[in-house]
Amino acid sequence: MNLATLSLAYLRRNALSALLNILLLAVGIATITVLLLFNHQMEQRMTRDAQGIDLVVGSKGSPMQLILSTIFHLDTPTGNIPLEDALWVQRHPLVSGVIPLALGDSYGGHRIIGSNHAYVRHYGGTAVEGRLWTADQEATIGADVARRTGLGIGDTFHGVHGISDGSSAAGGDVHDEHPYRVVGVLGRTGTVLDRLILVTVESVWLVHGHDDDHDNHAATTDDGHHAGHDHDLDNHHDDAGYADDRWQQHEGEEDRQLTALLVRYRSPLAAVTLPRVVNSRNALQAASPAFETARLMQLMGIGMNALRAFGWVLVAAAGLGVFIALYNALKDRRYDLALMRSLGASRGTLVLHVLLEGLLLALAGVMLGLAFGHLGAELLGQSLRQAQQLEMTGRLFIAEEIWLILLAVGVGLLAALIPAWQAYRTDIAPTLAAR
Amino acid sequence: MLRFDQVEQHFSSGPTVRIPDWQAARGEHWLVLGPSGGGKSTLLHLAAGLLSATTGRVSVADVPLDTLRGRTLDRFRARHVGLVFQTLHLVEALTVRQNLALAQYLAGLPVDQARISALLEHLDLPGQAAAYPRRLSQGQAQRVAIARAVLNRPALILADEPTSALDDHNCERVLSLLVDQAAACGATLVIATHDRRLASRIPHRLEIGAAA
């Protein structure tokens, strides 16, 4: 026998009321938990995807659309930029390095991205099966792509025009004449890389009607093509002799276009000058991933905050429910409290007993709520994974949840405070005599 | 063992209760007789330290209760006084065994399951240990209340109208239990009642009545 046994016995006696209050609290906590997990994982994912990219240069349009389409691969691109303009950016003295991106097709809802190996290196990707692409029409696929499409080394597939997130049937024309062959599968990085199909820039041009004189000439590039530039990002030769600057060899050829360039500044000062200089060119737009991501989070934050407020309203309603339940129960239990005092319970013991009931209700509610929340997040994550939009899991515990537990416990204790005060003031003799 | 010296209890609504100077030695059995509203329950509440005397002094086991405060008084009452209420006051949310364990826990004593079992056996309640009070008959509930009062082996057992609602047979049974258990503990037994059926069994009597 102890106070917890005693409090539990009273909760059992009013099981329905206790259960309803626990459920109400659990729903509120679950709502907040899902939002916390969603927010945390989305921020983490966005930060990871945008990390190390100072600027995105693409065609004129919405800067947020440019960021969404080229960093997070969630939206359609704003358009394409001429290769000449891209090379101008690449050679700018304030630019340390660039990664080219050529978009346009997809397979099974996964985007086919024409880029170079710097893109993979940027996200810390490595091939766990096969190798990275080196020749045109070779493809290296992300971990999620491999899992969802079932593609493996040596398999071929045809890109579908358009980058809709649905099935290939929902997309545009199938590029029957230009099959891709899978030469490698990337290990999971937890970044956007996982759900992309990576090919050479030239492959994208080829598929879209530009015959490429450099087809299958993986090692034809001159090293140190642009003297005085740091080529950490875009001029790297790997063991297969592949050069990251192959796409630059097409300078002067008509109608060569890229979708965007992921740019790294040479110095922090570039942040002041370069976007302005880029935006002054007719065809180009510069967008800062950090700024646009923050803006996106802020925009989403309004909706998130509204939902979070709704969650807290539920928690507060549950707190009120606990208060009403304890308050009413205490009116019925004043004889029991007086009896306990006559048996030797101090006033403090009775206060602890009532507070413990509030605490037990709150703990049960918060634990059930966390379980519901994590289950809900996992189900939501699976649904989002089906839609290939965002990786989210409920199998994650974040620090904010500790605060959630503490706040819910605080609500339970607060709800029990007035009933506990009533218990404290129990006058033994008159109460026992009144029965 | 129990001593009242010039005790008066004033109530904001109701008459003042005057308790005659009186003492009961250890192991003695007393009846406190008087009309309803005459102050019998007040006397028991004063003896248990549930009420503080407005004037005068109440002592239990040579300890003046007015010298004890708060937690000390609560603990003193739990260890030295056993109470049987007219309406029994069993905790409905707890089983019979838990009701008894609660009395030990609140007295700050380790819960002695063996003693609880033995007591239930002795009071002919062995099958009721896991039952909730609402499942008990009036007689069974009365015996549980007596078991709870004697569980901590108090020096003083106070019973308020323990037989008034019982027929002759049950009246005799409850009285025997109280007397036997008090004797087993070596406790002083004080029964407040207006039930004259008890008079032949209890040797000492105190008559009290209300005064304006």
Residues with Cβ within 8 Å of residue A344, at least 6 apart in sequence: B74, B75, B77, B78, B79, B103, B106, B107, B108
Angle between helix A289-332 and A334-342 (nearest 10): 70
Helix (H, G, I), strand (E, B) or coil at B189: strand
Show which residues on chain A lie within 8 Å of chain B, measured between beta carbons.
Answer: 1-2, 5-6, 9-10, 12-13, 335-336, 338-349, 428-429, 432-433, 435
The residue assigned the tokens 């059995």 is B29
Q: Which residues from chain B sit within 8 angstroms of residue A12, using beta carbons?
A: 93
3-state helix vs strand vs coil in chain A, percent to 5: 55, 15, 30
**What pLDDT was estimated at residue A189?**
92
Q: Give the best-scoring range by mean pLDDT among B26-30, B68-72, B162-166, B174-178.
A: B26-30
Confidence grade of residue B132 (pLDDT, cut at 50, 70, 90) = very high
**pTM of the entire predicted model:** 0.77
DSSP A155-206: -EEEEEES--SS-GGGSS-EEEEEEEEEEEEEPP-SSGGGGEEEE-HHHHHH
Residue (of A293, A260, A256) closest to A278 by Cα position: A260
Q: State the Cα angle at B179 between B174 and B180, rounded to 5°.
A: 95
Res A178: pLDDT = 87
Report the candidate in B50, B69, B10, B32 with the shortest Cα–Cα distance to residue B188: B32
Q: What is the pLDDT of residue A231?
A: 38
Whether A346 and B71 lie within 8 Å, measured CB to CB: yes
pLDDT of residue A219: 33
- Report the gap between the CA of B124 and the closest CA in chain A (Å): 23
Q: Do A343 and B107 touch (CB under 8 A)?
A: yes
**What's residue A329's pLDDT?**
81
For residue B93, which residues of chain A lie inside 8 Å, CB to CB?
6, 9-10, 12-13, 336
Which pair of tokens denotes residue B48? 């248990």
Distance of CA A390 to the CA centre of its chain: 6
Shortest Cα distance from B99 to chain A (angstroms)? 9
Question: Is the CB of A344 less than 8 angstroms away from the CB of B74?
Answer: yes
Q: Which residues of B touch A335 (CB under 8 A)?
A: 89
Q: Which residues of A touch B85 (CB under 8 A)?
A: 339, 432
Closest residue of chain B to A14, computed from CA coordinates: B93
Question: What share of chain A in percent tops pLDDT 90?
Answer: 53
**Mutating which of B105, B111, B132, B134 best tests the A interface, going by the most A Cβ atoms within 10 A?**
B105
Cα-Cα end-to-end distance for chain A: 26
Torsion sign, CA atoms B187, B190, B191, B197: positive
Which chain B residues touch A428 with a CB distance below 8 Å? 45, 50
CB atoms within 10 A of CB B212: 4
Chain B residues with CB under 8 Å of A345 CB are 74, 106
Chain A / chain B CB contacts < 8 angstroms:
75
Which is nearest to A320 in space by CA: A34, A3, A25? A25
Give the separation between CA B80 and CA B70, rounded to whole angstroms: 16
Q: How distant, in Å, are the alpha carbons of A205, A311, B21, B208 from that of B38?
A: 109, 59, 16, 6
Q: Which residues pair with A332 in a beta bridge?
A: none
So what's the pLDDT on residue A283?
A: 86
Task: Supply the ipTM of this predicted assembly.
Answer: 0.88
- Cβ distance of A342 and B71 shorter than 8 Å: no
Give the pLDDT of residue A406: 93
Asked if residues A195 and A140 have their Cβ atoms less than 8 Å apart, the reply is no
Q: What number of other Cβ atoms are within 10 A of residue A374's Cβ?
A: 20
Smallest CA–CA distance from A11 into chain B, residue: B93
Question: What DSSP designation does B185 have?
Answer: H
pLDDT single digits (tens) B48-102: 999 999 999 999 999 999 999 888 999 999 999 999 988 878 999 999 999 999 9
Cβ contacts of B176 within 8 Å, gap of 6 or more: none
- Encoded tokens for A47: 């930060």
**Cβ count within 10 A of residue A166:** 14
b or e along B50-69 (b: 16 or more beta carbons within 10 Å of the residue's beta carbon)? Answer: bbebeebebbbbeeebeebe
Pair A134, A203: CB distance under 8 Å: no
Cα-flanking dihedrals φ and ψ of residue B165, to 5°?
-100, 10
Does B106 sit within 8 Å of A343, measured CB to CB? yes
| Distance between CA atoms of residues A117 and A119, nearest Å | 5
Q: Which of A345, A429, A433 sits opposite B74 (nearest CB)?
A: A345
Q: What is the mean pLDDT of residues B178-182?
A: 91
* Chain B interface mutation, best of A342, A347, A352, highest count of B Cβ atoms under 10 Å: A342
Q: In whole angstroms, what is the distance from residue A77 CA to residue A75 CA?
A: 6
- The two tokens of residue B212 are 């304006």
What's the confidence (pLDDT) of residue A435? Answer: 62
Which residues on chain B are in Cβ contact (under 8 Å) with A336?
A: 89, 91-93
Parallel, antiparallel, or unpaired for β B156-160 and B188-193? parallel
A344–B111 CB contact, under 8 Å: no
What pLDDT, on the 0 to 100 scale, is given for residue A205?
92
Low-confidence ranges of chain A (pLDDT < 70): 164-171, 210-242, 386-390, 435
What would the two tokens of residue B182 be? 């008090």
pLDDT tens figures, A81-119: 999 999 999 999 999 999 999 998 999 989 999 999 999
Other CB atoms closer than 10 Å to residue A269's CB: what's the count?
Answer: 10
- Pairing mode of beta strands A257-258, A81-82: antiparallel
Residue A176's CB: how many other CB atoms inside 10 A? 8
CB A398 within 8 A of CB A40: yes
Residues B53 and B11: beta-carbon distance below 8 Å: no
Spatial contact of A81 and A98, defined as CB atoms under 8 Å apart: no
pLDDT digit string, tens, across residues A377-405: 999 888 887 666 667 889 999 998 999 89
Contacts of A341 in chain B (CB under 8 A): 50, 74
Rg over CA atoms, chain A: 31
Cβ-contact B63, B75 below 8 angstroms: no
H-state helical runs in A152-210 = 201-207
